[in-house]
Amino acid sequence: MESKPLELGLLRSFSPLDGLKSENLHSLARKTLLRELTIGRQLFKEGDTDKRTYYLVSGVVELMHDGRTVLVIRGGSPEARNPIGPSNPRRYTARVVSDRIEFVAIDSDMLDMMLTWDQTGSYEVNELKGVNDEGGSASDDWMTTLLQTKAFHRIPPANIQAIFMRMQRVDFKPGEIIIKQGDEGDYFYVIVKGKCVVTRETPLNKDGIKLAELSMGDTFGEEALISDARRNASVTMLAEGTLMRLAKEDFRTLLNEPMLDWADLEQAKTIVAQGGKWLDVRLPSEFENYRMEGALNLPLYFIRLKLKSLERNVHYVVCCDTGRRSSAGAYILSERGFEASVLKGGLSSTDIARK
């Protein structure tokens, strides 16, 4: 299947993309490709539950139901302005009947979020224009990056509008410390331009161990805000950059609460019995003292570094002694597309803590 970059005017020819604001359409165009498929191939099959929105650009596609052709769509026709067989699960099989077709496929959840945000939000991004050294604007890219994350799909549109309206822009110079290990948490940050390094000081390494390098669209600072703990690492600007920040109370109300899924002990045990896993974010010494049977131990400050070691198709029940650290861990997992629940009350409220 071949693909090539997309022209902005092409997206404007489709409904409802023609109703998107210019900056959102630009961002969508940069993240979407024009693809090809040859005769006899299928875009999707009847009964499929894939969350993709397809538009036909050129060529001919037939929609079939129970083996019979019910509609033929030609690129450039009035019917082709709309998504091909948009129902989910799919009611039709879409098959190529011309030598080849050109089409566009867009993540349905992302498109729905962009349309909702576009139509409910009044936030203007003009003041952020020009922050990208490469001649374009990074503003719509970092916002679209956030909107694309599965976690944002759980946040009410009104909250998303408020988040972007209440965020403040802050510029930083190379080497400037954004948050310092041991300080009280005050803001949640999103990188608009530049790169940051995350380091953690240990008794054996006062200069700090490098935990991660973050770039445009990445977020940090949520752990201390959720758990009411002090910063567990320092974040320093590597090059001149721009961040957007959201104050602690706004973060908790608008972002944290809608994204967390709490489970009591019985609900948590059911999740694990159905294939889920316990993820204990306490320190190894705490974990050794008592733990849920079969639990994985991944200390909170290592979660970002070890995300690749976790399974994408597993529902994790995140736990700690009280629920504070585990809620921070579950937020980080949810934000990055994992299915995660928090054990309500923590392990200290369970029988294993009393053994």
**pLDDT value at position 22?**
79
Average pLDDT, the chain: 83
pLDDT at 4 over 60: yes
Please give the share of the chain, as a percent, with pLDDT higher than 70. Answer: 87
* CATH code of the domain made up of 125-256: 2.60.120.10
Write down the pLDDT at residue 194: 92
Q: What pLDDT was estimated at residue 310? A: 95
pLDDT digits (tens, 9 = 90+) for 242-276: 998 999 888 888 877 777 888 999 999 999 999 99
Alpha-carbon span 311 to 302, nearest angstrom: 16
pLDDT digits (tens, 9 = 90+) for 288-326: 888 899 999 998 878 878 888 999 999 999 998 888 788
**What percent of the chain is modeled with pLDDT above 90?**
37
Residue pair 42/85 in contact by the 8 Å Cβ criterion: no
The confidence band for 68, taking pLDDT boundaries of 50, 70 and 90, is very high
What's the whole-number mean pLDDT along residues 101-129?
A: 62
The region of weakest confidence among 6-20, 89-103, 179-193 is 6-20
State residue 47's pLDDT score: 92
Segments making up each domain of the chain, as ranges = 3-110, 125-256, 260-354
- For residue 354, the tally of other CB atoms under 10 A from its CB is 8
Predicted local distance difference test score (pLDDT) of residue 129: 34
- The pTM score is 0.54
Specify whether the CB–CB gap between 60 and 86 falls below 8 A. Answer: no
| Residue 355, pLDDT above cutoff 50 | no
Choice among 133-137, 186-190, 276-280, 345-349 with the minimum mean pLDDT: 133-137
State the residue for tokens 């600007």.
237
Average pLDDT over residues 80-88: 87
Of 97, 71, 96, 69, the closest CA to residue 82 belongs to 71
Q: Which residue has the higher pLDDT, 226 or 141?
A: 226
The superfamily CATH assigns to domain 260-354 is: Rhodanese-like domain (3.40.250.10)
DSSP reduced 3-state for 246: strand
**Burial class of residue 187 in the structure, from the number of CB atoms within 10 Å of its CB (0-12 exposed, 13-18 middle, 19+ buried):** buried
Do the domains spanning 3-110 and 125-256 agree at the CATH topology level?
yes
pLDDT at 353 over 70: no
Q: Measured between alpha carbons, how far is residue 306 from residues 211, 301, 311, 337 in Å?
A: 10, 10, 11, 14
pLDDT of 209: 85
pLDDT digits (tens, 9 = 90+) for 119-153: 544 333 333 333 333 434 444 567 776 776 666 66
Name the fold adopted by 3-110. Jelly Rolls (2.60.120)
